Amino acid sequence: MAGKTKVMKPDASSISRGASLIKKGEVVAFPTETVYGLGANALDANAVRKIFLLKGRPADNPIIVHVSSIAMLQKIAKVDARALTLAKKCWPGPLTIIFEKKGIMPANVTCGLPTVAVRMPANKAALALIRESGVPIAAPSANISGRPSPTSAMHVLEDFDGKIPLILDGGHTKIGVESTVLSLAGTPRILRLGGFSYEKLKKLIPNLEIAGHPKKIGGPALSPGTKYRHYAPSVPLMLVEKKEFGTFASKLKAGERRVLFFGPNFPKKTIAQLAGQFEYFLYFKDGENAARRLFDELRDSEKKYDRIYFCEIEERGAGRAVMERVRRAAGK
Ligand code: AMP
Ligand code: MG
């Protein structure tokens, strides 16, 4: 696309503009409750190809398809009774479920896999856009591959100004990390931690497991996207593990502009001792707060500091998804 990128608040006229772009095979960025999506008609292989090109997304990383109704889900996927009950209970919401796909789905959305990942987003503008387009919308996060995901329209503009015709600006996203990806084939397994917490999902699915990292377990990646380095800011992100809280400061280099991200588990008296060593301290009051702000603060901090130090937070609730992102961004 050549020309200017329009940034519009979602209302009847901008949604209708977005829907007609989608129907024409163009790409539109829109807000969801997790992060911003870069959307195209999931049934149009050419439109989907544009998403891969724009993002520089590896060709073996399938895209989540967004629907606005169960009827729309059933057009693209084979849905058994158990998955249907779960979808009805959890949607709209930050839970992506893997289904066996139907023939109507172009091969490039799923990168040739026999399955398709689907969710119904809990965001009015997103739902209205899908409904009015009349087609399921394939949408990965609206960032250049590898960069921190976008949680505001400004982040999308940073990566795609002049490259897409429209960004629907729904303000800062509510959850801030991507959806949880769930497989129901065999033992129910979380393939990617995300906005729907493990604890909450475990209450609905008692035998739920979390898939190990592909590198750790040595096998092929169950969810292809999880094998890539991801979410990384343009300056080094250093993960400070809990066991290093008391000692890491003695190893800091001189003449470096640094910011420290920390949560309630970080000892307060250590903060006082670090006062001269960091230019800025950034406090997350819990996992949910860290999830909401993580990508935004990474994008902001890469402009201001030489290095970002992230002190491990508790791995519960949204804190699990946050720590998974931080490890990957730190190259762990
Ligand atoms: P993103 O769109 O960047 O938020 O990433 C989508 C995630 O869902 C990636 O980790 C993909 O590998 C995963 N995913 C998408 N489709 C499938 C599928 N059919 N089977 C397993 N994982 C999938
Ligand atoms: Mg992404």
pLDDT in tens, 190-240: 999 999 999 999 999 999 999 974 444 444 455 666 666 678 899 999 999
Pocket of ligand 1, candidates 55, 63, 228: which has the most ligand atoms within 8 Å of its Cβ, to mutate? Answer: 63
Domain containing residue 33:
6-210
Atom number, ligand 1, closest to the C-alpha of residue 35: 4
Nearest Cα residue to 264 out of 290, 296, 298: 290
**Residue 166: inside a domain:** yes
Q: Are 181 and 192 in contact (CB under 8 A)?
A: yes
Residue-wise pLDDT for 283-293, tens only, equals: 999 999 999 99
Pocket of ligand 1, candidates 95, 191, 193: which has the most ligand atoms within 8 Å of its Cβ, to mutate? Answer: 191
Nearest ligand to the CA atom of 190? 1
Nearest Cα residue to 19 out of 151, 166, 171: 166
Write the CATH number for 279: 3.40.50.11030
Nearest ligand to the CA atom of 228? 1
For ligand 1, residues with CB inside 6 Å are 61-64, 98, 110, 113, 115-117, 140-141, 178, 181, 191-192, 223-226
Is pTM beyond 0.85 here? yes
Residue 121 and residue 52 share a domain: yes
Would the pLDDT of 23 be above 70? yes
Rounded to the nearest angstrom, the distance between the alpha carbon of 226 and the centre of ligand 2 is 10
pLDDT, position 263: 97
Cβ neighbors of 204 (< 8 A, separation 6 or more) are 86, 89, 90
Q: Which residue lies with its CA nearest to atom 13 of ligand 1?
A: 223
Q: What are phi and psi of 109, to 5 degrees?
A: -60, -40
**Residue 118: inside a domain:** yes
Rounded to the nearest angstrom, the distance between the alpha carbon of 20 and the centre of ligand 1 is 26
Residue 167 and residue 76 share a domain: yes
Rounded to the nearest angstrom, the distance between the alpha carbon of 62 and the centre of ligand 1 is 5
Rounded to the nearest angstrom, the distance between the alpha carbon of 140 and the centre of ligand 2 is 5
The confidence band for 33, taking pLDDT boundaries of 50, 70 and 90, is: very high
Write the CATH number for 52: 3.90.870.10
Would the pLDDT of 143 be above 90? yes
Would the pLDDT of 100 be above 90? yes
Residue 265 and residue 197 share a domain: no
